[in-house]
Amino acid sequence: MKKNLPLWGAGVFAGALLAVPAEAAVSSEAAYVFNSFSFLVCGALVMFMAAGFAMLESGLVRARNTAAICLKNIALYSIAGLMFYLIGYDLMYTGVDGGLIGSLELLYNPSGLELALINAGDKGQEAALAALMKAETGYSSMSDWFFQMVFVATAASIVSGALAERIKVWPFLVFVVVLTGVIYPVIGAWTWGSGWLAEMGFSDFAGSTIVHSTGGWAALTGALILGARKGKYGPDGRINPLPGANIPLATLGTFVLWLGWFGFNGGSQLALGSALDAAAMSIVFVNTNLAAAAGVVAAMALTQILYKKIDLTLTLNGAIGGLVAITAGPDLQNHLMAVIVGGIGGVLVVFAVPLLDKLRIDDVVGAISAHLVAGIWGTLAVGIFGSGDFAVQLIGVVAVGAFVTVVSAVVWFAIRAVMGLRIDEEGERLGLDQVELGIEAYAEFGKGSQSIA
Amino acid sequence: MKKNLPLWGAGVFAGALLAVPAEAAVSSEAAYVFNSFSFLVCGALVMFMAAGFAMLESGLVRARNTAAICLKNIALYSIAGLMFYLIGYDLMYTGVDGGLIGSLELLYNPSGLELALINAGDKGQEAALAALMKAETGYSSMSDWFFQMVFVATAASIVSGALAERIKVWPFLVFVVVLTGVIYPVIGAWTWGSGWLAEMGFSDFAGSTIVHSTGGWAALTGALILGARKGKYGPDGRINPLPGANIPLATLGTFVLWLGWFGFNGGSQLALGSALDAAAMSIVFVNTNLAAAAGVVAAMALTQILYKKIDLTLTLNGAIGGLVAITAGPDLQNHLMAVIVGGIGGVLVVFAVPLLDKLRIDDVVGAISAHLVAGIWGTLAVGIFGSGDFAVQLIGVVAVGAFVTVVSAVVWFAIRAVMGLRIDEEGERLGLDQVELGIEAYAEFGKGSQSIA
Amino acid sequence: MKKNLPLWGAGVFAGALLAVPAEAAVSSEAAYVFNSFSFLVCGALVMFMAAGFAMLESGLVRARNTAAICLKNIALYSIAGLMFYLIGYDLMYTGVDGGLIGSLELLYNPSGLELALINAGDKGQEAALAALMKAETGYSSMSDWFFQMVFVATAASIVSGALAERIKVWPFLVFVVVLTGVIYPVIGAWTWGSGWLAEMGFSDFAGSTIVHSTGGWAALTGALILGARKGKYGPDGRINPLPGANIPLATLGTFVLWLGWFGFNGGSQLALGSALDAAAMSIVFVNTNLAAAAGVVAAMALTQILYKKIDLTLTLNGAIGGLVAITAGPDLQNHLMAVIVGGIGGVLVVFAVPLLDKLRIDDVVGAISAHLVAGIWGTLAVGIFGSGDFAVQLIGVVAVGAFVTVVSAVVWFAIRAVMGLRIDEEGERLGLDQVELGIEAYAEFGKGSQSIA
């Protein structure tokens, strides 16, 4: 049982089930190819979001912590893929059946029927194909695995941004192991894996809660336990901006995330093997784009009004807020709704960022605002504009928040006790790059006063 | 009536029309999926061109104006998408019928037949699918909308590059609203929307004139009205180079544009539902690549000869010139023609950039040379190497130039009268980033004499 | 005869050959579309690797040589495409037939049957399509050409990185002409073109040897003939690091390469027209990702152990080493094998980089370690974990090494004799950007002591 069936049921693989004339319909083998290729192409786009996060975060940290954030980002993507292979996928998708977790089997591999087809000689292929067509879900097992895998890394990317500039590399990566191997798969099991939340009717098309809020709660918990960067908050309530070192890279990162999000939301249609699926996926692409655009325009206009100047960083986060907000329900059939949902996502980010600062919760790149706050909004919006039940949506938001917060806190405290979490003061002053990696991100660019502060 | 029908007619959706044996041909539903998926994948590539323009322009402006150009680029892409949803698509494609503009209906939404299919229960799907297959154009309505939408932003990106470093953010964005909501859709209506130019036989496969020259004319008009940057042109006829701050970003931007152009030109085959379309699209990909490569090599060799050194910026613009030149006719069946068309595109850029400087038309990134000059060449080249009629091609070039120039001028003057266009001298000296956004793009990188000049 | 037939035979285009019921199977025309579109999409991803190399190399050279490396990268990609069109493709694929080289015909163009279909009027299309379906290989000729073309540039990119910071632009580009027009196509003829190595049973799925080692051997030969950068190796055996100027760009480049590698390996299934192909391609995607991830984690852990700090540059190269290693056999059916192959690839890079330095072979970006060493490992691994014969794999490795080394050496010496290879000492001190291009890559970023050294 995969992600799609309990949540959007009817529309999926409809092509194969329809009794239209054979010469007009998509054949079952062609549907299998369409579905699999859609997973691969959309999955590759989502994979590229790892680069987007790396660039966004590289641009928004100070120069002295840039190499460390680069390392964390490529490492977390790698760990996420290995952990999902080792344990995550089965924990999330195999035999959850209304419960809390799936199987504890290790090392996911291709389905036997597929290997039989691939290994069949010329003579055996016909029978092997027939068996595959009859028994399988309509797509290649590893194309689905690939698509699900790339989502795991996104949750971890959110954490790296929020906790940048002070968390040590290895403790962060140990947290990533647990987040991607256990925490995210358990949340996934409850929902896309057909667990208890799915049975209640919780609806989260591509993961406003399941991916983005999960990462956001883990980041929030970490930010509270880790504390703020030195110098971020003055003793008199003063908030120091500590501006990022490379704004065009942050802009590039945002564009890459936007591009990847077409795969993120579009691929979550989970099928392309029928006209219905193609039409539905197209609607998803359009809503994704409109919501992001609305987030940008809303954040621009609002910061102009509030601060008399457009705030570029908040505008970039407005795009992300719009994207996160639409992620729970990008299948809205009236596109104006997507504009509204995304625009509100952008507005929420503009208010959430200073609010967190007022609470002295130090989120370096605004990830908690863009992913958690907009993620909650998007999930609830499915209960307002979409087909979801508001109460069930709220239960899902709260349940995920409670579980991720509690388990994350336990893990953060355990790591802190065993190996420490935070770079020491001298290290923070010098920067993680020098202390942890022994490298400079920009070895030749003269440093202004900022980096000596 | 969509873009393809009047201009390339016969080849499109041939798969569905052919009377080949059912078991050999592409079924009508599979063609629908192929066509729609091609729009989505190619459209995503074109969307990424917005990032390419952002990086190209970020790399070629001075550090003090970098954040502003980042903001302008993400804002213009957002506005283009919203305006095309609000009014542009219908104005361009609905009911033009040989005339000047389409419908003034607002807020484009999915076709009723598609929504009927998506919303049909298990029982009704067969009938809904049959109705869709019978009545529709062979692709999902929103996949087409998505593909057309991403083209709009390209036209606006051209303007942002040319007018960088001196135009204020909000007046620029107001112009973008008009350009993407009215000017571009009207040009589109005349041509791809089956308006009067299409009826004359004007041929512009993917938009050398319709997209690139439209943006180029708007940029040229703006550059004339706005005037040059302070210090660009000395009183003694001296031309100061004002070099860009980040050459690798400019290079990255060019590569991203090149990648996106496969979607731009390839997707403009407008169909993938038959062997004919797949073969034709492949030819388009190859010609696109060869033309860009020829533009690079031509610009490299020519600048070496002219200046005794390769000029990297002109070489990057040579790639773009080659791409723009082939855009009007990338379906050339002898690939050598594509090499020639693209190579001449690169050569034209190398001559046009200093010529504009001699005329004291200040185009910060060379956009007018690469998009307008090469765009005119590419459009006329269809009348020489391709299937177009040279006289008609010329009429199209002139008509588009006249309309865009006049309307743009009116809009530029109106904006100037109401809110001003240009940053004041002190602001230009300090940079748009500080004055308009209150941010530094590279907060920690020591500044050389250039930025204080 | 194309790349796939001798090497992986049976699995390819199986969809078209199967005698399953027509309404279940993929039709031959749909298979043609799938196969062609897969080539185009995967080829576009591989094309983007040129940007990945450009960014990786831009980030790892010093500021004063950055514009030159940008120029070299866009130029080599352009030249590769033109040379493969001019002569390379036919030399590699047409009529090799167990021999050493293919045809010397010039200027590859679309197949006549495809042009007949495209040019047929409405009446002739049915017959033209039937002829194409009967006679052709199941994909569009130019989609295959496009996919093969993008591989050529990769081999050249490897050379540019290794020889950066001291080779002059034009001599380098002359070498690229020979490498992409002759050396690579000959290696390709021996193997994917059905030459003598293919007949022996040499197996290299996507080019660990054919692409990556070919580039690596050419780079190694060049590095030996060119000598090390001034100041890299002290007289007392001291090795000076000469750190790169822009680490986030190097990280971005690595991510882009990783993304492109899905096309590189996945597209090398060479077909998507059946469930078998879709399942096989999915396995390739997953193995590619796991091997890269294992390379990252292995390099991280090993550098932490060896140097007490994670080395970010080696970690990035660990990703590439893992990717190169899996490239010869990404079709492994037990994914754990891919983790092992990739992890060893990462380990080898960590040991090879200091070893080359000990031998005073100056490879600026680690390309020889990541592409040649890991490429040899990956090719031999097919004889251990995969379906290859170890002795034959070894013969292939040695034969390719011998040929590329000898021919490259002749070409390098000839270029040196005619036009010189290396920038003079003063030019090396000032940087290639200033001397060869007359430009600064980062005109405004104050320079630290590094760049004056």
Q: Which chain A residues are closer than 8 Å to C442 by Cβ?
A: 444-445
Cβ contact C243–A439 (<8 Å): yes
- Other beta carbons within 10 angstroms of residue A282's beta carbon come to 28
**Tokens standing for A2?**
């995969």
**CATH 3.40.50.1480 describes domain A27-237+244-439:** no
Average the pLDDT over A328-344 and give the result: 96
Average the pLDDT over C56-73 and give the result: 97
Average the pLDDT over C407-423 and give the result: 97
Residue C346, beta-bridge partner list: none
Cβ contact C39–B294 (<8 Å): no
Q: Both ends of chain B: CA-CA distance in Å? A: 55
Taking the Cβ of residue C27 and every Cβ of chain A, the question of whether any pair is shorter than 8 Å is answered with: yes
What's residue A7's pLDDT? 31
DSSP per-residue letters across A220-247: HHHHHHH-PPTTTB-TTS-B-----S-H
Cα-only R_g, chain B = 22
Q: Which residue, chain included where needed, has tokens 């490299």?
A: B300
Contact A55, A250 (CB under 8 A): yes
pLDDT digits (tens, 9 = 90+) for C293-319: 999 999 999 999 999 999 999 999 999
Average the pLDDT over A68-90 and give the result: 97
Average the pLDDT over A394-406 and give the result: 98
What's residue B98's pLDDT? 85
Whether the predicted pLDDT of B7 surpasses 90: no
Contact C198, C7 (CB under 8 A): yes
What's residue A235's pLDDT? 87
Q: Which residue, chain included where needed, has tokens 């514009």?
A: C67
Cβ contact C245–A169 (<8 Å): no
- Other beta carbons within 10 angstroms of residue B317's beta carbon come to 32
pLDDT digits (tens, 9 = 90+) for C157-185: 999 999 999 999 999 999 999 999 999 99
Cβ under 8 Å to C: B residues 410-439: none
> Of A29-33, C92-96, C133-137, C314-318, which gets the smallest average pLDDT?
C133-137
Taking the Cβ of residue C52 and every Cβ of chain A, the question of whether any pair is shorter than 8 Å is answered with: no
What's residue C116's pLDDT? 87
Nearest to B45 among C44, C122, C140 (CB): C44
CA distances from C194 to C147, C378, C407 (A): 17, 21, 21
Residue of B nearest to A42 (CA): B41
- Other beta carbons within 10 angstroms of residue B358's beta carbon come to 11
Whether the predicted pLDDT of C335 surpasses 60: yes
Nearest to C443 among B38, B290, B450 (CB): B450
Nearest to A74 among C45, C296, C336 (CB): C296
Share of chain C above pLDDT 70, in %: 93
* Geometric angle at alpha carbon C116, from C115 and C118, rounded to 5°: 60
Q: How sure is the predictor about B14, in pLDDT bands with cuts at 50, 70 and 90?
A: very low
Pairwise CA distance, residues A327 & A154, whole Å: 13
Cβ contact A82–C297 (<8 Å): yes
Share of chain B above pLDDT 90, in %: 80
Share of chain A above pLDDT 70, in %: 93
What's residue B363's pLDDT? 96
Cβ under 8 Å to C: B residues 335-394: 335-336, 339
Q: How sure is the predictor about A447, in pLDDT bands with cuts at 50, 70 and 90?
A: low
Cβ under 8 Å to B: A residues 113-142: none
What's residue B20's pLDDT? 53
Cβ–Cβ pairs < 8 A, chains B and C: 245
Taking the Cβ of residue B213 and every Cβ of chain A, the question of whether any pair is shorter than 8 Å is answered with: no
Nearest C-alpha neighbor of A295 from the set A333, A347, A372: A347
Q: Decide which of C105 and C9 is more confident.
A: C105
Residue of C nearest to A71 (CA): C312
Pairwise CA distance, residues B98 & A80, whole Å: 56
Chain-centroid distance, C-alpha A208 = 8
CATH of domain C35-111+147-240+250-439: 1.10.3430.10
What's residue A97's pLDDT? 86
ipTM entry: 0.94
Residue B283, burial from CB neighbour count under 10 angstroms (0-12, 13-18, 19+): buried
- Other beta carbons within 10 angstroms of residue B8's beta carbon come to 18
* DSSP 3-state of A310: coil
Residue of A nearest to C11 (CA): A118
> Of A219-228, A444-453, B315-324, which gets the smallest average pLDDT?
A444-453
pLDDT digits (tens, 9 = 90+) for B342-376: 999 999 999 999 999 999 999 999 999 999 999 99
Q: How sure is the predictor about B131, in pLDDT bands with cuts at 50, 70 and 90?
A: confident
Whether the predicted pLDDT of B236 surpasses 90: no
Whether the predicted pLDDT of C287 surpasses 50: yes
What's residue A210's pLDDT? 97
What's residue A157's pLDDT? 95
Contact C43, B285 (CB under 8 A): yes
Question: Which of C26, C28, C32, C40 would best serve as a mutation to test chain B binding (most B beta carbons within 10 A)?
Answer: C40
CA distances from C168 to A18, A429, B251, C160 (A): 64, 41, 19, 11
Taking the Cβ of residue A271 and every Cβ of chain C, the question of whether any pair is shorter than 8 Å is answered with: no
Residue A330, beta-bridge partner list: none
Cβ contact C70–B247 (<8 Å): yes
What's residue C386's pLDDT? 77
pLDDT digits (tens, 9 = 90+) for A38-66: 999 999 999 999 999 999 999 999 999 99
What's residue C131's pLDDT? 87
What's residue B21's pLDDT? 58
Cβ contact C315–A32 (<8 Å): no
What's residue C192's pLDDT? 96
CATH of domain B30-110+144-440: 1.10.3430.10
Average the pLDDT over A274-298 and give the result: 97
Whether the predicted pLDDT of C9 surpasses 80: no
DSSP state of A181: I
Pairwise CA distance, residues B431 & B67, whole Å: 10
Provide the mean pLDDT of chain A: 91
Contact A375, A344 (CB under 8 A): no
Q: Which chain C residues are closer than 8 Å to A107 by Cβ?
A: 335-336
Alpha carbon of C41: minimum distance to chain A alpha carbons (Å): 8
Cβ contact A297–B82 (<8 Å): yes
Taking the Cβ of residue B44 and every Cβ of chain A, the question of whether any pair is shorter than 8 Å is answered with: yes
Cβ contact A247–B70 (<8 Å): yes
Whether the predicted pLDDT of B176 surpasses 50: yes
Q: How sure is the predictor about B12, in pLDDT bands with cuts at 50, 70 and 90?
A: very low
Whether the predicted pLDDT of C6 surpasses 50: no
Taking the Cβ of residue A259 and every Cβ of chain C, the question of whether any pair is shorter than 8 Å is answered with: no
Residue of A nearest to C451 (CA): A444
Q: Which chains touch A (3 or more CB pairs under 8 A)?
A: B, C
Average the pLDDT over A144-153 and give the result: 96
Taking the Cβ of residue C30 and every Cβ of chain B, the question of whether any pair is shorter than 8 Å is answered with: yes
Nearest to B309 among C117, C246, C437 (CB): C437
Cβ contact A275–B140 (<8 Å): yes
The helix or strand, by DSSP H or E, that contains position B256, with its residue range, turns out to be helix B247-266
Average the pLDDT over A184-209 and give the result: 96
Q: How sure is the predictor about C23, in pLDDT bands with cuts at 50, 70 and 90?
A: low
Provide the mean pLDDT of chain B: 91
Alpha carbon of A257: minimum distance to chain B alpha carbons (Å): 10
Contact B78, A293 (CB under 8 A): yes
Whether the predicted pLDDT of A280 surpasses 50: yes
pLDDT digits (tens, 9 = 90+) for A117-135: 998 988 888 888 888 898 8
Average the pLDDT over C119-124 and give the result: 86
Contact C225, C411 (CB under 8 A): no
